[in-house]
Amino acid sequence: MRIDHLDHLVLTVADIEATCRFYSEALGMEVVEFGEGRKALRFGRQKINLHEVGHEFEPKSAR
């Protein structure tokens, strides 16, 4: 078996806007909005969904 991409993974961050700014400006990732104002970072066929600390969406990992 060989994995060639991920549908998405989640980063829990302190500040979504600052995270979007860094990843888009420094690494060239595309900021995408989906759902009801949720944000993600896209590069190639990968997507990183962003959750803000204290406002995570369910289900989520315990740690």
Q: Give tens-digit pLDDT for 34-44.
A: 988 899 999 99
Looking at the predicted structure, is the pLDDT value of residue 7 above 90?
A: no
Residue type, 27: L
Domain 9-52 has CATH 3.40.50.300: no
Say if pTM beats, i.e. exceeds, 0.85. Answer: no
Q: State the pLDDT at residue 58.
A: 65
Q: Mind listing the pLDDT tens digit for each residue in 16-28? A: 999 999 999 999 9
Band the pLDDT of 6: cuts 50, 70, 90. Answer: confident
